[in-house]
Each structure stands twice: as C-alpha cells, then as structure tokens.
Amino acid sequence: MPIETRLTQFETTWVPRLNAPLQAAIERDAGDTRLADAMTYSVMAGGKRLRPLLTVATLQALGVTFEEQRHWQPVMALELLHTYSLIHDDLPAMDNDDLRRGEPTNHVKFGAGMATLAGDGLLTLAFQWLTASDLPATTQAQLVQALAIAAGPGGMVAGQAKDIQSEHVDLPLDRLRVLHREKTGALLHYAVQAGLIMGQTPQAQWTPYLQFADAFGLSFQIYDDILDVVGTAAELGKATQKDAGEAKNTYPGKLGLEGANQALIATIQTGKQALAELPAGDGRDLLAAFFSYFDTKRVKP
C-alpha cells in the first residue's frame, strides 16, 4: 500500500471517531454558554487532529487497543491544549491574525477578551481531561507532568517567548532549531510520549519513538516555513508570507527555499532511521506514513 494511502486511511478511520464526542464533552464541562461557544468554535474548526492521531498511532505501534472510556479524553486533551495555543497566538497582542483554517480567528468572532478566556478554558480543561479516565493514577500523573513540561515555560511557551524576542534579530541556525523544538516540536514530542506513557512502555524503550517524534516536529516546522512562501491563503486557510514581512527567522530565510527543502528531506530521513530501530510491522509502517504529510516536491529545483 502506498505510504500516502496508509496515512489517509488512518485519518479517515480515526478523525471522525476522535471528533464525534468532542463538542458535547466540552459543552458539558463549560459553565457558561458563550464561553463554551468560543471554546468549541476553535476546537471544531476543522483541525487535522495530527497530535492525537500521533498518540493513537503510537498506541497501535505498541499493540495497545484503544478503549474509549480509558483513552479518549487523555488523547484529546492535547488537542484542547494545542487549540488554546492557536487562539492565543492569533490575538492582537501576539500575531494579530484574522484568519485561521479559513475562518475568522476566535478574537475576530468573539472579541479579544472572550478569546483569551476560551484559550484559558481549553488549557485548564486539558489537564482535567488527563485525569478524567480510569487509567492508573501513576499514569495520569505522568501524563500531567509530561504535558506541563511540553507546554509550559520550558517548552512551547519558551519557544513562543523566543519567537517574539527574535523578530528583526538574525538568529544562528542552531538557536533557530532550539526555538522550533520548543515552540512546535514540544507538543509533537509529547504526542508520542503520551502513547508511550499510556502504553506503560519501559523508558528504556522510548528512545527511537522520541527520536522519530523530534524529527517529525522539526520537519513540521520546516515545512510550515516553506508553505508560508510557496502556499496560498486559500490552500492553507490563513495568511501567507507573513514571516518575511515580520522579519521572523525561518529555514527558507536562512537557507533559501531549496536549502530549506533539503533540510526537510534530511530531517525526514533522520526520523525514518529512528523508526528502523523498531520491530518491523504495521505499527512501524503507520508511524513512517506520517512523513507523507510533507510534500518535498513543492519546491522546484
């Protein structure tokens, strides 16, 4: 089966299954109707569910059967937290974006104050959901700690802080990698780590999975940088070519489009080499299929 087909089939099966209870679950846990509307507006706006899909794929690679009662809320907690980060990233005080996934951003729709609260609500609800299942208490605690580290001032928030401070500053490539690892890569790292934790996998076996996750995270950011140059607003559902206009540090800005594409190809290869350390089989092939998300032919030589 072609690798692109493998990923498409997986998405077709799992995205509806993950989405089905989502809006009702958020509304049930929100104590204000307008706040619930703002929270669900962004969560249900058509995201790819890439992060929870990575967690499910990791569970499958480990041979763990997904159980709705046990796994759904902890898996989808990451999507709540990711959506909070997008809402806050779009705010006037941050990137001041008007379009996300082809629709008005949350603050355009609900106002900056309610958008801020919607993000706050999703952030805190994510941690509530991590402890709202019958997973063992030690597993719940591990998930809470890991997500707090990935999303907090040592992870995603640190990357956002570096991103703000580095506008109009020429960062060396090694520092740009650190920024990307924190801002984008930390939550993708956690997505795989969460599967390892829920699968109760001994930490001695984590390394190839997390090396794959880190290569995927860097590939994701490089590809996003490339799409900001070669993509269209209609295709991506958001404004394009903003990075150069805001003097942000990007891979195309550092290496040119062809150089960035070569860095993307090399990073994908690093991730595939990490996966080669895992036992052969459908689980390993499924994780490798996630690299088909990146079209390395978008940049013409």
pLDDT given at position 1: 64
pLDDT given at position 300: 77
CA angle in degrees (0–180, nearest 5) for 183-188-194: 130
| Rounded distance between C-alpha atoms, residue 228 and residue 263, angstroms | 16
Q: What is the pLDDT of residues 258-294, one digit of tens each?
A: 999 999 999 999 999 999 999 989 899 999 999 999 9
Q: Where are the domains of the chain?
A: 3-293
38 dihedral zone (left: phi>0; alpha: psi -120 to 50; beta): alpha
The pTM is what? 0.94
pLDDT given at position 245: 55
Task: Write the CATH number of the domain with boundaries 3-293.
Answer: 1.10.600.10
pLDDT given at position 47: 87
**Residue 234 predicted with pLDDT over 70:** no
**Residue 224 predicted with pLDDT over 60:** yes
Q: What is the pLDDT of residues 131-164, one digit of tens each?
A: 999 999 999 999 999 999 999 999 999 999 999 9
| Rounded distance between C-alpha atoms, residue 72 and residue 250, angstroms | 35
Q: What is the pLDDT of residues 23-37, one digit of tens each?
A: 999 999 999 999 999
The average pLDDT across 59-64 equals 96
Entry field: residues in the chain: 301
pLDDT given at position 241: 59
